[in-house]
């Protein structure tokens, strides 16, 4: 343990960590970073193949984003966003508008992913109330979803052992059995899937839609569930169900937005528009905490009235619409759209799929390789034929994480699911390095 690490552990309580684990593997001290690489105090390099929690969309120290932020810094760093406005936010909405799923026209700025989800839930609830449906008080969500860690967001997520702990604090939501394509209950493959598992949602809607204000989902990719990818047809069917029962559809694009799935937004694969959509993470290239809750005119109009009618959405976060965050978002759009980064990532994705399949597809403990865009995940299993998971107490993923780290690759497995979710600017050479290390550490598995 170096001096920095000792001083860190004396006082810092790290997110999502059992602090005792750091006794044997202290936190990596990152001195600086460039592109997809992190460097420690001795100059040793680590490939950030998970984009620092899926946020760093276009590499660390991206010169275009840096310049945008520097220019903004000289002009205006922050201003109250109630009653005031500024150029970076206005021009950002104008640039985003033609890129969003058609019909999303109103932008409610917030300051991190969870806060945009909380806003989405409150908007949905209040919309129903103000359009004569005060009886619609509950939310539906997918059983293995993830929408953040604040209480509202947590309660529309998976009830795993960590979340269950807080159950007495949570809303009473309705969990719909999520698609599970690797272990499909209908024994379909991804090729011949017609979204049969929608029947679970249909049953739940028939029973509970009348008391439901909105359904919230991660479109096409359930990230925290282990990078579980489900087909566009399922999302289309959810949209149709919501329409049939007058339930609002909230799509949480915090992880999937801005090119992560190969298209600008995951909803684009299904050609649908949600009633409410949340974006964060890639929005600022992972530079600054900012999020937006997007809605349609129809939703917005339910709040637009004389003050005395008390229909306003009275919800705020201090750093909503932060100008530096908006400037970073401009840099992201410069790179993704104007400089062709999205297009380049689209051509890289099939190459990565092929490489990964060739190298580890036949490995006896690689159960499934699943992918969308540049996101590629492999689920490790004890028995490949029976798709039996490893005993979680073996912490197989954590063990491989340590091995990969010592070889200069930063993974952060989700249980026993290893994944790449690299910046879209990553090169073939860098991906080849990641594949080399991955292949190497997988050899230790028996």
Ligand X SMILES: *Cc1c(COP(=O)(O)O)cnc(C)c1O
Q: Which residue's CB is nearer to ligand X, number 242 or number 414?
A: 414
**Annotated binding site for pyridoxal 5'-phosphate: which residue ranges?**
113-114, 252, 317-318
Length of the chain: 446
Burial of 213 (0-12, 13-18, 19+ CB in 10 A): buried
Q: Which residues of this chain interact with ligand X, rule CB under 6 A?
A: 112-114, 117, 146-148, 218, 223, 252, 254-255, 280-281
Smallest distance, ligand X to C-beta of residue 28, A: 20
Write the DSSP string, 383-417: ETTTTEEPPGGG-HHHHHHHHHHHTTEE---BTTE
Beta carbons within 10 angstroms of residue 349's beta carbon:
18
Q: Which residue has the tokens 């073996």?
A: 394
Closest CA relative to residue 229, chosen from 144, 114, 160: 144
Q: Which residue's CB is nearer to ligand X, number 291 or number 441?
A: 291
Smallest distance, ligand X to C-beta of residue 359, A: 28
Q: Which residue's CB is nearer to ligand X, number 147 or number 228?
A: 147
Strands 32-34 and 228-229: unpaired
Closest CA relative to residue 339, chosen from 24, 64, 130: 64
Smallest distance, ligand X to C-beta of residue 371, A: 17
Smallest distance, ligand X to C-beta of residue 261, A: 12
CA distance 199 to 425: 40
Q: Which residue's CB is nearer to ligand X, number 277 or number 360?
A: 277
Smallest distance, ligand X to C-beta of residue 216, A: 9
Q: Which residue's CB is nearer to ligand X, number 35 or number 223?
A: 223
CA distance 218 to 267: 10
Three-class HEC string of 29-82: CCCEEEECEEECCCCCEEEECCHHHHCCCCCECCHHHHHHHHHHHHHCCCCCCC
Closest residue to ligand X: CB criterion: 113
Smallest distance, ligand X to C-beta of residue 69, A: 19
C-alpha triplet 157, 424, 220: angle, nearest 5°: 35
Q: Which residue's CB is nearer to ligand X, number 227 or number 248?
A: 227
**Annotated binding site: which residue ranges?**
53, 113-114, 146, 252, 281, 316-318, 412
Q: Which residue's CB is nearer to ligand X, number 290 or number 431?
A: 290
Smallest distance, ligand X to C-beta of residue 147, A: 5
**Annotated binding site for substrate: which residue ranges?**
53, 146, 281, 316, 412
Write the DSSP string, 256-273: TTTTTTSSSSTHHHHT--
Write the DSSP string, 150-166: SHHHHHTS---HHHHTT
């Amino acid at each position: 343990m170096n001096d920095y690490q000792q001083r860190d552990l004396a006082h810092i309580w790290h997110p999502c960590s059992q602090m005792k684990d750091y006794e044997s593997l202290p936190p990596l001290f990152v001195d600086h970073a460039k592109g997809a690489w992190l460097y420690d105090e001795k100059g040793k390099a680590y490939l950030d193949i998970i984009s620092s929690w899926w946020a760093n969309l276009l590499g660390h120290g991206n010169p275009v984003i840096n310049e945008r932020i520097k220019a903004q810094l000289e002009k205006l760093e922050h201003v109250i966003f109630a009653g005031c406005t500024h150029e970076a936010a206005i021009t950002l909405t104008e640039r985003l508008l033609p890129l969003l799923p058609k019909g999303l026209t109103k932008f409610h700025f917030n300051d991190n992913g969870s806060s945009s989800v909380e806003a989405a839930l409150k908007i949905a609830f209040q919309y129903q109330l103000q359009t004569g449906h005060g009886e619609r008080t509950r939310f539906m969500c997918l059983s293995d979803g993830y929408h953040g860690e604040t209480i509202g967001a947590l309660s529309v997520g998976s009830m795993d052992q960590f979340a269950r702990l807080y159950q007495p604090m949570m809303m009473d939501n309705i969990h719909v059995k999520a698609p599970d394509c690797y272990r499909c209950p209908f024994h379909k493959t991804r090729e011949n899937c017609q979204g049969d598992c929608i029947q679970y949602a249909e049953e739940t809607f028939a029973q509970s839609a009348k008391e439901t204000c909105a359904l919230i989902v991660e479109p096409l990719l359930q990230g925290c569930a282990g990078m579980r990818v489900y087909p566009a047809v399922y999302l289309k069917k959810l949209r149709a169900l919501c329409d049939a029962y007058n339930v609002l559809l909230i799509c949480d694009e915090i992880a999937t937005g801005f090119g992560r799935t190969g298209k600008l937004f995951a909803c684009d694969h299904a050609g649908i528009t949600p009633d409410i959509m949340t974006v964060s993470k890639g929005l600022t290239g992972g530079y600054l905490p900012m999020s937006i809750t997007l809605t349609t005119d129809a939703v917005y109009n339910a709040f637009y009235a004389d003050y005395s009618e008390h229909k306003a959405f009275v919800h705020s976060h201090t750093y909503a619409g932060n100008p530096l965050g908006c400037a970073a978002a401009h840099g992201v759009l410069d790179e993704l759209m104007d400089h062709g980064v999205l297009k380049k990532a689209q051509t890289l994705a099939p190459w990565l799929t092929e490489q990964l399949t060739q190298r580890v597809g036949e490995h006896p403990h690689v159960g499934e390789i699943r992918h969308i865009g540049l996101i590629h995940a492999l689920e490790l299993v004890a028995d490949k034929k029976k798709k039996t998971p490893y005993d979680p107490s073996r912490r197989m993923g954590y063990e491989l994480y340590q091995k990969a780290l010592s070889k200069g690759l930063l993974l952060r497995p989700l249980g026993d699911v290893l994944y790449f979710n690299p910046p879209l600017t990553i090169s073939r050479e860098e991906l080849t390095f990641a594949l080399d290390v991955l292949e190497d550490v997988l050899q230790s598995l028996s």
